[in-house]
Structure 1
């Protein structure tokens, strides 16, 4: 049979994730659990902090089985909040702060949350919520008069939900995956088996991206140190590399696109910056063969490269492959506790070497979609191949093939779902939302020529329904990853002789490189502005680059900003800081930024406001520590 089973998970009494960390805190209270910026939080402080959060939630009416939204920037407070929500008996619902207000409101409504946890910097995002808002301090012990409970507020059972993570729904509505405590326990036990030791782990995944689950629990349940990259650090590959060096990080996980940027930054600063690394895990999108080759060219063989695969519906991961050197890319074999099946359209096993759909069984298979029984029944099926009664398996919709070495090669998708920068995206969801915009008669969205972004085709004859205006309107309804980097507005979409939409023609148009399209970039008499335009055109893969349009309105995103930094250095001879590029987001503003730097004789562009903000944050933290010390 075309199936494979991972090694068995260890048996034993069920202990919830947060209680495992609490037991470690009892044994090693002074060990550092979380670092973020200038803050270092010990295990003892983390558990005391999170227990306080759990009791504040209980006082707000949160109980077993409820759902609590988490609106928090990457921080130590975010980690304490996660533990605190679980300690209140509830499931946490992470909200991506990059999402527009309409999307945030839709998730809060769909999840039927009982409360919202925020920090002082994010509580304004919950302003329209009718549910209680619990604000968590930025450092432990900031509220010295608060009680220090010696236990969490509520107990949980294996079948209780631990978290809901939302994915793109085919209709444009967000769809929440219910992950139970037993799923989380199984996934983490498997991770501790595959990655032994107590790591110093650099967390770069947003909380709303389920690889954060791997980093948080795979580190804290191992007694390791979780280094949380701040929002500013996540925007700058040079700062991320500096974090690895400063904290001697030995394990990390990110999408391959980001790892490529980290290697770029490390090679600029000297690859010894990454000397502490022992394991680099990539997941969330297809791993290019070129990145495998580059990894082993940069690192010695003592640095593992591990390719993980798994949908949210199977609790983060289901397969992995550990590279021992340069070899062909695969997604490997099953993690401990997982069962993998390669089946045909009739859900029967296919012979080795034959393509089929990957279905996943085992302890990581989650409950299903919150409030969507029909969608759950369509992809969560009874598992006829399992020995235990009541076992279920999940239809991934991914096409794979078992190769001669017995590992799985990923072939592609059955439907119109793709992955962009590690996020699952339903093309139909974007098309549905586009069609609701004023002036849009028809819409089709496809992957772009590089496969790292999206391109949309819109039929509209209404004056004013230009690509920039449509992108801005779409960005108010969908998260950034679902907004096409390029929108082409046509009087009508191409059709074949039968009058049906000619998708083959659209695929051809989407694959055209910029040089094949009419050059419509504005001409400039200023050589520096022309150089900035050239850098934008190269990075965004577009020919039209207006002088006064926001980088993100033309399809840019945070990872593309790293590439723009490199491109500006090549074209203009100066390397602006990432912070300054996030502040000056038009061609005209960036040309002025670089010109000013040249006039001042600087080799790089610095951001006085960013430095001032950093000093202010440091001073505020020192004051908070002083107040905390005065009460002890």
Structure 2
């Protein structure tokens, strides 16, 4: 630290913060109370705002500050071990950690009483919480996948095409394709791709609007033994070119609506034109190219927190495992409403999970997704039974259902929300509208783990959780040294199992940073070491054996030396009367917070009043300096809140 010129107090604070979890664990074991970060009187920064009156106000009793010390002096500095000074003294914290090891070995913590059956979330794994490391690891082990051969998804669909060619497979707009017609169309497109130079292990771009043609195109690409690379038609041409160039695509599939886009100059194009369809259901002569589990099925780009496109490589083995887990959790032959763009990874759940089950995939057009009333009519028209979307889109769909009446969605049996945290008021609205006729699922999972990793099932309103592991998945909640943390302690979620993807295309360093050796799992049959994905998400096991989502590591900010979790502020703001959704961001100087409250109704609460209420709930550094009340949030094409647009709006204001 001396060679780098780091202030010794700031260096100590870094170590101190890493040990706050230790103190919190000991404090909880002794008193039963779990302190929040803002409850702890920590003020060690040697900065100009070190003596800020609002910081000093957080302290109680006589204030004792550290002098400016050198490293050698600091080690020898003697501090009386009182409750307050204990929080500030590194050797004392080390002693606490040693004592905690003995405490965990001897203390008999009483188990929390189980929640009533009618209020309990039912995850994949709900074993009782115990303090031992092995038991905590057991909480995160999902059920074994069914013992069956994991055939590539397009080969599984081909079985349904041969067995039931007359069944409806895909509907979009005014077009409905049976499995037989979809088979014939995909076979013809596969032949055109092969003629255009596509070979096994090639990558083929998909520039297609939400449609039946989009489905036929990706099936055709997989039949060639190639991998599909979806791009979003809502993105500008320059970004699309960046993605296609980075992926190294050999060809591009388009539709009549996208064929005029000035992208991928010089690449061969194959157009999936519905007007050229003939009414044929005969089995094509050409067979699909065989692929193995290690071959890449698709390459999907995610911006993450940096805004820079980053391609995730997903193999046929991971896709087959994830899809098999989905059919295990959601059995039967669904009529599934697909509202996600192909370039959004939740499309994988609806597309392959439905067609491999022999179900009916209803692809909503972009216009239908933008109009909740049209979505409700689509559910009625096709008798949709299953729906998956982000919570914010489901909220506006419920608005339409409340206006038209629940008869519009009478066929629904399952609603799954994913991609964003589930607000508890939305869960309550779901059951107020549907009663117990429609089960609500809350899914969690990054693109890097092939769509999903955990889920919780709700048959009645209950505390929000992301549940337990999906079949074939392992979940670990680890500290900074990658050790499992006890129940109730926040750690970073790591994911292992059959769905962990290959990594990032052309980014070995980025892959190495987050795709790590899994020390808690045996190597594969071929001796390949197990791997796990470091998510960057903070979670904790609760006493019901399910995971509580805490927030993103990169959504933590420091305001005048205080670490603030933006998700915690958002949750408090969203809980206020009249507020449906909230977004909190730091201001341009990172000296305070800006908040945006979504209030769709005509009677909008006063922003000053909302801030006053937060002042009563939160310590001063967590209270936004300004709250803007909006009737609608800007959204990305995936339906998520466009935080960048809100930040720009806040900067202008």
Cα distance in structure 2, aligned partners of 1:130 and 1:511: 47
The answer (yes or no) to whether the contact 1:183–1:363 under 8 Å persists in 2 is yes
Cα distance in structure 1, aligned partners of 2:335 and 2:305: 38
Residues 327-347 of structure 1 show CA distances to partners (whole Å, capped at 9, x for unaligned) of 000000000000011110000
Segments ≥4 residues shifted beyond 6 Å: 446-451, 454-457, 509-514, 556-562
Cα distance in structure 2, aligned partners of 1:54 and 1:454: 47
Query: Which 10-residue stretch deviates more, 8-17 or 133-142?
Result: 133-142
Q: Could you tell me how far 1:12 is from its partner in structure 2?
A: 3.0
Match of 1:404 in 2: 543
Residues 401-436 of structure 1 show CA distances to partners (whole Å, capped at 9, x for unaligned) of 100100000001112599xxxxxxxx9xxxxxxxxx
Match of 1:30 in 2: 166
Match of 1:566 in 2: none
Residue 287 (structure 2) pairs with residue 195 (structure 1)? no
Over 3 Å counting, the alpha-carbon distance change for 1:218 and 1:125 in structure 2 is same
Residue 295 (structure 2) pairs with residue 160 (structure 1)? yes
The answer (yes or no) to whether the contact 2:390–2:420 under 8 Å persists in 1 is yes
Match of 2:553 in 1: 414
Match of 1:95 in 2: 231
Cα distance in structure 2, aligned partners of 1:150 and 1:452: 55
Cα distance in structure 2, aligned partners of 1:456 and 1:353: 28
Residues 65-113 of structure 1 show CA distances to partners (whole Å, capped at 9, x for unaligned) of 1111100011110001111111111111111111111211110111111
Match of 1:504 in 2: 591
Q: Could you tell me how far 1:130 is from its partner in structure 2?
A: 2.3
Q: Could you tell me how far 1:559 is from its partner in structure 2?
A: 9.5
Over 3 Å counting, the alpha-carbon distance change for 1:285 and 1:386 in structure 2 is same
Cα distance in structure 2, aligned partners of 1:561 and 1:349: 32
Residue 388 (structure 2) pairs with residue 388 (structure 1)? no
1:120 to 239, 253, 256: 256
2:631 to 526, 539, 542: 539
Match of 1:11 in 2: 147
Match of 1:226 in 2: 361
The answer (yes or no) to whether the contact 2:150–2:321 under 8 Å persists in 1 is no
1:46-195 pair list within 5 angstroms: 46-138=182-274, 141-142=277-278, 149-168=284-303, 172-195=307-330
What CA RMSD, in Å, does the superposition of the two structures yield over aligned residues? 3.1
Residues 161-218 of structure 1 show CA distances to partners (whole Å, capped at 9, x for unaligned) of 1111111156542100000000000000000100000011111111111111000111
Over 3 Å counting, the alpha-carbon distance change for 1:289 and 1:537 in structure 2 is closer
Residues 253-289 of structure 1 show CA distances to partners (whole Å, capped at 9, x for unaligned) of 0001111111110111111111100000000000000
What secondary structure is seen at the aligned counterpart in 2 of 1:415? helix
The answer (yes or no) to whether the contact 2:392–2:639 under 8 Å persists in 1 is no
Q: Could you tell me how far 1:152 is from its partner in structure 2?
A: 4.0
Unaligned runs of 5+ in 2: 1-132, 558-565, 575-580, 599-604, 610-627, 642-653
Q: Could you tell me how far 1:240 is from its partner in structure 2?
A: 0.2
Residues 208-262 of structure 1 show CA distances to partners (whole Å, capped at 9, x for unaligned) of 1111100011110111100111122111100000011111111110001111111
Cα distance in structure 2, aligned partners of 1:560 and 1:170: 16
Q: Could you tell me how far 1:22 is from its partner in structure 2?
A: 0.6
1:309 to 444, 460, 465: 444
What secondary structure is seen at the aligned counterpart in 1 of 2:540? strand
Unaligned runs of 5+ in 1: 419-426, 428-445, 458-492, 495-502, 518-535, 542-554, 563-632
Query: Which 10-residue stretch deviates more, 280-289 or 446-455?
Result: 446-455
Cα distance in structure 1, aligned partners of 2:305 and 2:338: 30
How many equivalent residue pairs? 460
Residues 378-397 of structure 1 show CA distances to partners (whole Å, capped at 9, x for unaligned) of 00011110023411100001
Match of 2:94 in 1: none
1:327-342 pair list within 5 angstroms: 327-342=462-477
Larger of the two Rg values belongs to structure? 2
The answer (yes or no) to whether the contact 1:17–1:184 under 8 Å persists in 2 is yes
The answer (yes or no) to whether the contact 2:208–2:254 under 8 Å persists in 1 is yes
Residues 565-624 of structure 1 show CA distances to partners (whole Å, capped at 9, x for unaligned) of xxxxxxxxxxxxxxxxxxxxxxxxxxxxxxxxxxxxxxxxxxxxxxxxxxxxxxxxxxxx
1:241-280 pair list within 5 angstroms: 241-280=376-415
The answer (yes or no) to whether the contact 2:390–2:640 under 8 Å persists in 1 is no
Residues 484-526 of structure 1 show CA distances to partners (whole Å, capped at 9, x for unaligned) of xxxxxxxxx54xxxxxxxx132x25779999569xxxxxxxxx
1:286 to 383, 403, 421: 421
Cα distance in structure 2, aligned partners of 1:329 and 1:148: 48
Cα distance in structure 2, aligned partners of 1:243 and 1:168: 31
Cα distance in structure 1, aligned partners of 2:386 and 2:293: 29
Cα distance in structure 2, aligned partners of 1:130 and 1:24: 37
Match of 1:318 in 2: 453
2:435 to 276, 284, 300: 300
Over 3 Å counting, the alpha-carbon distance change for 1:385 and 1:139 in structure 2 is farther
Cα distance in structure 2, aligned partners of 1:330 and 1:306: 10
Over 3 Å counting, the alpha-carbon distance change for 1:160 and 1:104 in structure 2 is same
